[in-house]
């Protein structure tokens, strides 16, 4: 599966061209899911961001560095959605934990947040549903640690199951 096959769904899940500035969202001004804090762009630049620019940012700053294209096709959209929502390292750790849950003892991999050959091999038989379950678990654990983020939980949980 190629980036072009699911980027439109990602943009939609991220709110499209709607500009937000939720005081409880640490990202600050956001459009197409690209935040001022996360991107290093000024709030003014975020507000004027075009869809094409957002797609380029996602490709260059998220898709390529996450090595999403090295994963089995069935995992790519869900993994990339997690990368966009919670960062490359966290999404990769969720992927690695779900692979360790699937694979027998002795075939466990390091949960280090980096995709290398061991992770690629470990996820070769991983079901997307198992990854989604571990992603939902991450959000549950996050809300338990940071109760103030509970207002975002339903959206995160729903998204984890859809993507």
Q: Can you tell me the mean pLDDT for 143-150?
A: 94
The reply to whether 104 and 147 lie within a common domain is yes
Higher pLDDT, 1 or 22: 22
Q: Identify the DSSP state of 34.
A: E
The reply to whether 51 and 81 lie within a common domain is no
**Buried b vs exposed e over 132-163: b needs ≥16 C-beta within 10 Å?**
bbbbbebbeebbeeeeebeebeeebeebbeeb
**Looking at residue 106, what is its pLDDT?**
82
The reply to whether 58 and 86 lie within a common domain is no
pTM, entire model: 0.93
| Domain termination residue (choose one: 49, 66, 83) | 66
Q: Domain residues for 91? A: 71-163
Q: What is the mean pLDDT of the chain?
A: 94
pLDDT at 109 over 70: yes
Query: Are the C-beta atoms of 46 and 31 separated by less than 8 Å?
Result: yes
In three-state secondary structure terms, 130 is helix
pLDDT at 13 over 90: yes
User: Rounded to an integer, what distance in angstroms lies between the CA atom of residue 128 and that of residue 133?
Assistant: 9
**Looking at residue 25, what is its pLDDT?**
80
Report pLDDT digits (tens) over 45-100: 999 999 999 999 999 999 999 999 999 999 999 999 999 999 999 999 999 999 99
The reply to whether 36 and 88 lie within a common domain is no
The reply to whether 21 and 83 lie within a common domain is no
The reply to whether 81 and 161 lie within a common domain is yes
Domain count, the chain: 2
**Looking at residue 1, what is its pLDDT?**
64
Query: Are the C-beta atoms of 60 and 71 separated by less than 8 Å?
Result: no
| Domain termination residue (choose one: 66, 91, 111) | 66
The reply to whether 19 and 79 lie within a common domain is no
């Amino acid at each position: 599966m190629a980036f072009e096959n699911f980027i439109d769904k990602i943009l939609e899940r991220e709110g499209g061209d709607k500009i937000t500035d939720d005081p409880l969202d640490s990202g600050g001004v956001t459009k197409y899911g690209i935040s001022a804090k996360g991107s290093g762009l000024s709030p003014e630049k975020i507000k004027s961001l075009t869809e094409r620019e957002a797609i380029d940012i996602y490709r260059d700053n998220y898709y390529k560095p996450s090595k999403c294209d090295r994963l089995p096709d069935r995992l790519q959209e869900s993994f990339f959605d997690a990368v966009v929502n919670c960062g490359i390292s966290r999404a990769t750790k969720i992927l690695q934990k779900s692979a360790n849950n699937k694979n027998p003892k002795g075939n466990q991999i390091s949960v280090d947040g980096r995709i290398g050959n061991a992770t690629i091999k470990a996820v070769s038989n991983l079901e997307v549903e198992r990854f989604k379950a571990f992603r939902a678990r991450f959000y549950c654990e996050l809300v338990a640690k940071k109760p103030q983020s509970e207002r975002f939980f339903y959206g995160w949980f729903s998204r984890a199951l859809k993507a």
